[in-house]
């Protein structure tokens, strides 16, 4: 009996330490919704590509997908933090934001440079690669399996570099498919057990 109590105490201490040193307000639903937004955006982009040269509209669609994903992530993280009694904004949150945004911003600026120089074939590869780097970079502050999602994006981005003309397909697989799959696996591994 005392052994069970000791084990429970150790598990409680472990959870408290994890909550204080890791950002655990992520939600599987965030990834699923981001993936769904990306899939809808990819469908719209595919229709735009069929109807001619619509660069401005494509940029608008990508921006809307990004904005919707960020807003959803903020809302669901805020909800989960409140539900678990964790502070959403702390030094850890700002550290995560910096480590996530720095590679992402660098990649975004590189994409803009590619677009300005009319080098369209590598834009999707750059998006996948720098997003993957952001995930790997931020994984040390949150769930470690975020790194595996990052590695998947890195591999997909490298493969995409060698298949010009299929950027939308790779973008859809990564931002749509990988996010949905990761969100479901995340839910099964972390969230379903706690309900």
**pLDDT average, residue stretch 43-57:** 87
Domain range annotation of the chain? 26-194
Q: Are 171 and 146 in contact (CB under 8 A)?
A: no
**pLDDT average, residue stretch 54-61:** 87
pLDDT, position 94: 84
Closest by CA to 42, choosing from 187, 152, 174, is: 174
pLDDT, position 6: 64
Instruction: Return the axis-axis angle of helices 28-50 and 55-84, rounded to nearest 10°.
Output: 170
pLDDT, position 9: 63
Q: Are 188 and 29 in contact (CB under 8 A)?
A: no
Is the confidence at residue 101, as pLDDT, over 70?
A: yes
The span from the CA of 190 to the CA of 24, in Å, is 10
Instruction: Give the confidence band of 59 by pLDDT, cuts at 50, 70, 90.
Output: confident
Is the confidence at residue 71, as pLDDT, over 50?
A: yes
**pLDDT average, residue stretch 188-194:** 76
Is the confidence at residue 21, as pLDDT, over 90?
A: no
Cα pseudo-dihedral 166, 56, 98, 187, rounded to 10 = -60
pLDDT, position 64: 95
Is the confidence at residue 173, as pLDDT, over 90?
A: yes
pLDDT, position 189: 85
Average pLDDT score over the chain: 86
pLDDT tens digit sequence for 133-167: 999 999 888 888 899 999 999 999 999 999 988 99
Structure tokens at 1: 């009996």
């Amino acid at each position: 009996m005392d052994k069970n109590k000791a084990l429970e105490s150790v598990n409680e201490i472990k959870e408290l330490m994890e909550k204080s040193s890791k950002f655990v307000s992520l939600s599987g639903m965030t990834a699923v919704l981001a993936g769904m937004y990306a899939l809808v955006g990819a469908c719209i982009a595919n229709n735009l590509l069929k109807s001619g040269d619509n660069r401005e509209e494509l940029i608008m669609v990508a921006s809307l997908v990004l904005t919707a994903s960020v807003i959803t992530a903020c809302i669901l993280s805020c909800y989960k933090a409140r539900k678990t009694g964790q502070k959403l904004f702390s030094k850890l949150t700002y550290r995560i934001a910096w480590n996530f945004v720095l590679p992402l911003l660098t990649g975004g600026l590189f994409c803009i440079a590619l677009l300005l120089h009319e080098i369209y074939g590598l834009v999707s590869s750059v998006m996948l690669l720098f997003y993957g780097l952001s995930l790997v970079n931020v994984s040390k502050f949150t769930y470690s399996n975020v790194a595996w999602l990052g590695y998947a994006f890195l591999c997909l981005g490298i493969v995409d570099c060698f298949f010009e003309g299929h950027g939308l397909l790779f973008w859809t697989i990564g931002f749509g498919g990988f996010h949905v799959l990761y969100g479901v696996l995340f839910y099964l591994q972390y969230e379903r057990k706690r309900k």
